[in-house]
A and B are shown apart, each in its own frame.
Chain A
């Protein structure tokens, strides 16, 4: 079983709509969590960290559920520029990052 699992999608979203997707992890000793964004095989870029209490950055909201071992990302008022692959990342206690395979989001006009 993969350490970090994501629905590959694609999630087809009309412009202006809300989309949400989850990522599950198998290791309960996971320390930190992040969402990265990757555009069409370019380098991944940090979108946001995920905190236990949940956190928001503009139109993006991230949540962590340690009991059920998943994190989520919600995008409100989707823009065409939000089309990308979103990578879920967990770290272990030694600082090693483990990436999910990504969830593809396609925002349509």
Chain B
């Protein structure tokens, strides 16, 4: 079954405690990205990756890091989380960078930073 998985699905943490949200896809997609969704603001892209070892900043990259060592995995790292990073996070993948490719989203990770 084609899928995008994220872990954890829910996380409550404290300011400054490093955390990683994993994202994995089994569709052999080249393009992966991370979004955050906040009320009234819609989905905003944090980082994206066109392929292995190729990553680039999205619209709101501050406070986040990513890596793409393997095609299937694209973890999101918060080195020192702050309360303004409390949000709903989605990983997304698509076959390539072409906008006509269907984009698939993971189930989301609800993060609360106290």
By a beta-carbon cutoff of 8 Å, the part of chain A in contact with chain B is 2, 4, 8, 31-32, 41-46, 49, 87, 91-92, 94-97, 99-102
Whether, in the assembled complex, B81 has its beta carbon less than 8 Å from a beta carbon of chain A, the answer is no
A49→B58 CA distance, assembly (Å):
23
B108 to chain A, nearest CB (A): 6
Q: Which residues of B contact A87 (CB under 8 A)?
A: 42-43
A43, A46, A87 pick with most chain B CB within 10 angstroms:
A43
Q: How many A-B residue pairs have CB under 8 A?
A: 48
Contact A101 to B98, CB < 8 A, known contacts A42-B108, A43-B90, A43-B107? no
Interface string of B73-104 (1 = CB under 8 A from A): 00000000000000010100000011110110
- Is the CB–CB distance between A101 and B40 below 8 Å? yes
